[in-house]
Amino acid sequence: MGGKLTVETSELQALSTKQTDAAATFSAAGNTTSYVEVKVLATHGPLCMSTQSALSAANNARKAACEQMMNKSRNLASNLNKAAAQYDQTDAQEGSNLGKQMQI
């Protein structure tokens, strides 16, 4: 396991962009079936109340899952951006320190 560790901050930023895109996709997926249970009740009436209730429960669970995934993707994107910035900052600082040492 002894190897040189290298971090390409551009790769971290690219991964962050992918997570941001994924968050948008999860958000859209959560809204795909919005109000389907209301539409079933409106078109089929109280005869389908049990179906409407089941659809409502399933849709609420789906929305909650999509929201959780969206939040996870947003948090991961934010953390990847922070990591990239911190790596760049540390690299610049240590490069400056090394430059000062070389001038002595």
**Is residue 1 in some structural domain?**
no
**Is residue 57 in some structural domain?**
yes
pLDDT digits (tens, 9 = 90+) for 38-88: 888 899 988 999 999 999 999 999 999 999 999 999 999 999 999 999 999
CA distance 27 to 4: 39
Secondary structure of 24-69 as H, E, C letters: HHHHHHHHCCCCHHHHHHHHHHHHHHHHHHHHHHHHHHHHHHHHHH
**Is residue 62 in some structural domain?**
yes
pLDDT score of 104 more than 70: no
**Is residue 81 in some structural domain?**
yes
pLDDT for position 1: 62
Residue 38 belongs to domain spanning: 10-99
**Is residue 2 in some structural domain?**
no
Number of domains in the chain: 1
